[in-house]
Chains A and B, each alone.
Chain A
Amino acid sequence: AQSVSQHNHHVILSEAASLELGCNYSYGGTVNLFWYVQYPGQHLQLLLKYFSGDPLVKGIKGFEAEFIKSKFSFNLRKPSVQWSDTAEYFCAVTDSWGKFQFGAGTQVVVTP
């Protein structure tokens, strides 16, 4: 069975700091990887996705993620966060059937 582990449940950082959120998954086959974000009061939105090819993928709002197959990881990064990045971030894995397995989420708070 698939599983997704997000390393941090809560992260607090100041504006302009760098952000890295860890995500590890457990699955034996080929997977597609996603990061979703949920801003306060809004629904889940896609930040970025990895299907194949270049393991470094760039998403919206300056986010990027790196797929490291040997480590079963798909960590999310942003070099310089803004107050508007305050949100909950979810890593997700799916196979070709499309059933998503989400991590528990990381609540990120960016202070001015």
Chain B
Amino acid sequence: DTGVSQNPRHKITKRGQNVTFRCDPISEHNRLYWYRQTLGQGPEFLTYFQNEAQLEKSRLLSDRFSAERPKGSFSTLEIQRTEQGDSAMYLCASSSQGGNEQFFGPGTRLTVL
């Protein structure tokens, strides 16, 4: 399967713990996006990369959140000191350039107890 992959698919953690998610985009795509989706809502933009450069971060991304894409390939999203309000589906998408169709991964469902 050459689509976007995300790991893990599910993560259950206790409040206060740190978690890290990984996204592997489609290999030839230079743009990578992170979104968060909660029940009854559409995906909300968090941040995006063009190659290894992080170009924009949403206000939703507090200081506890950090994302990296060190070699312009896979990306990680880390949440430090998780809170119950962080419980959501975290989606990754990639595209060949801005404005084009984005291909989404299956998401990582985070549950913070």
By a CB distance below 8 angstroms, the chain B residues around A104 are: 40-42
Contact across chains for B99 and A97 when beta carbons are under 8 A apart: yes
Q: How far is the CB of A42 from chain B (nearest CB, A)?
A: 8
By a CB distance below 8 angstroms, the chain B residues around A45 are: 104
Number of B residues whose C-beta is below 8 Å from A?
26
**Nearest A-chain residue to B31, judged by Cβ:** A98
Number of A residues whose C-beta is below 8 Å from B?
26
A70 at the interface (CB under 8 A from B): no
Q: In whole angstroms, what is the CA distance A45 to B103 when docked?
A: 7
By a CB distance below 8 angstroms, the chain A residues around B103 are: 46
Contact across chains for A44 and B41 when beta carbons are under 8 A apart: no
Please list the residues of chain A having a beta carbon within 8 angstroms of any beta carbon in chain B.
Answer: 4, 9, 32, 34, 36, 42-46, 49, 51, 90, 92, 94-105
Please list the residues of chain B having a beta carbon within 8 angstroms of any beta carbon in chain A.
Answer: 31, 33, 35, 40-45, 48, 55-56, 91, 93, 95, 97-107
4 shortest interchain CB distances as A-B pairs: A102-B42, A98-B98, A44-B104, A43-B106
